[in-house]
């Protein structure tokens, strides 16, 4: 029973995953955390020193480690990195091992969340030369269709609390 949370950075994946896990008496994991443990350095440092391609290799291995046959079948909620689902090899692993929920937010909501997150610097390096709100807009234009087409369920995050979002996801997952 694997549930993957996808969406752009700042959509609340890492906040909502433990709430869902508690509601279904399961566990949760954040693939960004797995990457940092495996690489023994912050994501921002991986990007700066080795580049995005190296980070994506670590990310794929993290997804493989939770989606593989070693999973014992108990509920596990997986918070994916914002770009993980944009790679076909990750989508295949994810689709073959569980359900995916897209946490959808507007540019303004996502930008606000990113700006108020104290770990944003280490976990969320700029992905474009623009950075800031313009980057969020640009990346959503590129990724939204992929997020939508690879999800089994979508939920808007703009006007709900993390607890409300978690409850709605659990109701869908159990339904």
| Total domains present in the chain | 1
Handedness of CA 166, 101, 84, 136 (dihedral sign): negative
Reading the chain (175 residues) residue by residue, the pLDDT tens digits are 899 999 998 999 999 999 999 999 999 999 999 999 999 999 889 988 998 899 999 999 999 999 876 556 689 999 999 999 999 999 999 999 999 999 999 999 999 998 887 665 445 554 555 667 898 999 999 999 999 999 999 999 999 999 999 999 999 999 8
> What pTM does this model have?
0.90
Determine phi and psi for 141, rounding to 5 degrees. -60, -35
Distance in angstroms (rounded) separating the CA atoms of residues 102 and 4 = 9
Is residue 50, in this structure, part of any structural domain at all?
yes
CB 104 within 8 A of CB 5: no
Q: Is residue 150 within 8 Å of 94, Cβ to Cβ?
A: yes
Question: Which CATH number covers residue 62?
Answer: 3.40.50.300
Is residue 175 in a domain? no
The reply to whether 17 falls in a domain is yes
Range of the domain at 107: 2-170
């Amino acid at each position: 029973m694997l549930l993957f949370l996808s969406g752009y950075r700042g959509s609340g994946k890492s906040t909502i995953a433990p709430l869902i896990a508690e509601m279904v008496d399961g566990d949760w994991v954040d693939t960004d955390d797995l990457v940092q443990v495996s690489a023994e350095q912050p994501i921002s440092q991986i990007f700066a020193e080795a580049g995005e391609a190296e980070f994506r290799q670590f990310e794929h291995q993290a997804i493989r480690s939770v989606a593989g046959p070693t999973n014992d079948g108990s509920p596990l909620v997986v918070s994916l990195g914002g770009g993980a689902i944009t790679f076909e090899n990750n989508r295949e692993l994810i689709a073959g091992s569980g359900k995916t929920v897209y946490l959808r937010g507007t540019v303004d909501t996502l930008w606000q969340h990113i700006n108020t997150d104290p770990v944003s610097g280490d976990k969320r390096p700029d992905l474009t030369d623009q950075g800031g709100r313009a980057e969020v807009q640009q990346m959503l234009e590129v990724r939204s269709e992929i997020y939508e087409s690879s999800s089994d369920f979508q939920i808007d995050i703009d006007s709900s609390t993390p607890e409300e979002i978690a409850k709605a996801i659990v109701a869908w997952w159990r339904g």
